[in-house]
């Protein structure tokens, strides 16, 4: 393997003319430069719009270095109506939902030797868990494609553990009439670094529920883009994160309403505790000029549990048509609500338990929207562990 990225695949449907160095500044979110080739992106300085809130000095191996492009370990739980295969990089499905928009994603794109393709075909809802445990801290690349065939239903949980240094792309396609839930659960070891770009395409009357849960890892940056491409497509984007001391958890969410009568809801909630706990949420919503009758709402809420933390929360809304049903956004970052604590304590619940309930409740509001009882119970357990590890004051 060499540090030079190999040739890009042919399929590049979202490639655009306004590249870096173009005299026209990028105005609209959909016009952001995209390419499968690492060499098309200039070196990252940390001043770029998409990198300025990320500790880029600590991820130079993933931005610029040689990556191991062999298949990233993945153990897929067997289920009826689910096809699992590893395909070569010239497979036509690669690039069908999106294309890398920054250097680390392009580095992964051009290095990955094979893509893991998971296809749900059954109308009977299934749950597939993909255990992705990194064996060591070798910088690696990965490419995953998750597809729900027309009218198929199911949930795919990408479960991440170990000391990874991973940059990857995940393509998600919800075909016509399908109902797909994709969960990316980051339970990485403390020192892990994970940069992940998700590209979702939701077709006519299909529904994609996309969930990002980031709890472990030193630097975790999961950026989901979802294109609501067909009439009546529905995108629910949920996120949950808990940053402890020194952790950097970032998520840049982008919802593109392309077709009419599409609906999106973006709800990300996070808690920060400890010196240097750091979170970033950027939420871009673009309602295209053909996307009449759309309904969108995005919100991010952060609960600050101690001094020494920083949460960035940046909602952006672009609307290119006047004929929409609704569009709104909200962002709030704050400490405990004293009135909530008073209410609980006035019912005999002691202060520590009341704080625990408020934090847990704050985060569980997102968990409750996932709609998978087993996963919800598991996430509750993980959040209880997070809370047990910190003295909430």
What residue ranges bind another protein (CB under 8 A)?
A: 337-340, 342-351, 353-354, 357-358, 360-365, 367-368
- Please tell me the distance from the alpha carbon of residue 315 to that of residue 281, in angstroms, as a whole number: 8
CB 70, min distance to another protein, A: 41
Nearer to another protein, 11 or 357 (CB): 357
Q: Which is nearer to another protein, 114 or 300 (CB)?
A: 300
Please, which residue, 99 or 360, has the CB nearer to another protein? 360
Minimal CA–CA distance to 329: which of 285, 293, 360?
A: 285
Rounded to the nearest whole angstrom, what is the least distance from the CB of residue 370 to another protein in the complex? 13
Q: Which is nearer to another protein, 310 or 345 (CB)?
A: 345
Residue number with CB closer to another protein (138 or 340): 340
CB of 362 to another protein, least distance (A): 6
Partner residues linked to 88 by β-bridges: 114
Q: Taking the complex as a whole, how short is the minimal distance between the CB of residue 345 and another protein, in angstroms?
A: 4
Rounded-to-integer distance, Cα 367 and Cα 321, Å: 33
Closest approach, Cβ 226 to another protein, in A, equals 25
Hey, which residues does 263 pair with through a beta bridge? Answer: 234, 295
Q: Work out how close the CB of 363 gets to another protein at its nearest, in angstroms, rounded to a whole number.
A: 7
Nearer of residues 68 and 372 to another protein, judged by Cβ = 372
**Element housing 237 (H / E):** strand 234-243
Among the listed residues 173, 169, 157, the one whose alpha carbon sits nearest the alpha carbon of residue 93 = 173
Q: What is Dmax (Cα atoms) for the chain?
A: 65
Measured CA angle at 198 (ends 110, 233), to 5 deg: 130
Helix (H) or strand (E) holding 280: strand 278-287
């Amino acid at each position: 393997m060499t540090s030079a990225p190999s040739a890009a695949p042919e399929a590049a449907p979202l490639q655009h003319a306004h590249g870096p160095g173009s005299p026209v500044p990028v105005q609209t979110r959909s016009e952001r430069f995209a390419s499968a080739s690492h060499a098309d992106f200039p070196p990252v300085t940390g001043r770029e719009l998409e990198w300025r809130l990320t500790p880029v000095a600590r991820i130079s191996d993933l931005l610029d270095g040689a990556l191991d492009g062999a298949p990233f370990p993945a153990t897929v739980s067997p289920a009826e109506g689910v096809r699992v295969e590893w395909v070569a990089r010239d497979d036509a499905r690669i690039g069908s939902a999106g294309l890398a928009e920054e250097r680390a994603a392009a580095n992964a794109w051009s290095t990955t030797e094979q893509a893991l393709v998971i296809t749900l075909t059954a109308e009977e809802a299934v749950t597939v868990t993909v255990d992705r445990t990194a064996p060591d801290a070798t910088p690696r690349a990965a490419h995953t494609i998750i597809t729900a065939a027309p009218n198929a239903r199911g949930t795919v949980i990408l479960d991440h553990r170990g000391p990874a240094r991973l940059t990857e792309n995940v393509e998600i396609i919800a075909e016509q009439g399908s109902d797909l839930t994709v969960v990316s659960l980051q339970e990485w070891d403390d020192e892990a670094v994970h940069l992940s770009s998700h590209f979702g395409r939701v077709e006519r009357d299909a529904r994609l529920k996309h969930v990002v849960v980031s709890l472990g890892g030193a630097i975790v940056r999961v950026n989901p883009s979802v294109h609501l491409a067909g009439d009546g497509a529905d995108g629910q984007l949920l996120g949950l994160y808990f940053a402890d001391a020194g952790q950097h958890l970032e998520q840049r969410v982008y919802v593109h309403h392309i077709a009419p009568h599409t609906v999106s809801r973006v709800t990300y909630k996070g808690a920060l505790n400890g010196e240097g706990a750091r979170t970033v949420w950027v939420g871009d919503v673009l309602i295209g000029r053909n996307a009449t009758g759309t309904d969108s709402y995005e919100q991010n809420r952060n609960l600050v549990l101690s001094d020494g933390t920083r949460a960035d929360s940046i909602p952006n809304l672009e609307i290119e048509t006047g004929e929409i049903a609704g569009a709104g956004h909200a962002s709030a970052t704050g400490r405990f609500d004293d009135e909530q604590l008073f209410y609980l304590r006035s019912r005999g619940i002691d202060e520590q338990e009341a704080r625990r309930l408020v934090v847990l409740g704050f985060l569980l509001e997102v968990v409750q929207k996932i709609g998978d009882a087993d996963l919800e119970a598991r996430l509750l357990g993980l959040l209880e562990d997070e809370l047990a590890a910190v003295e909430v004051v």
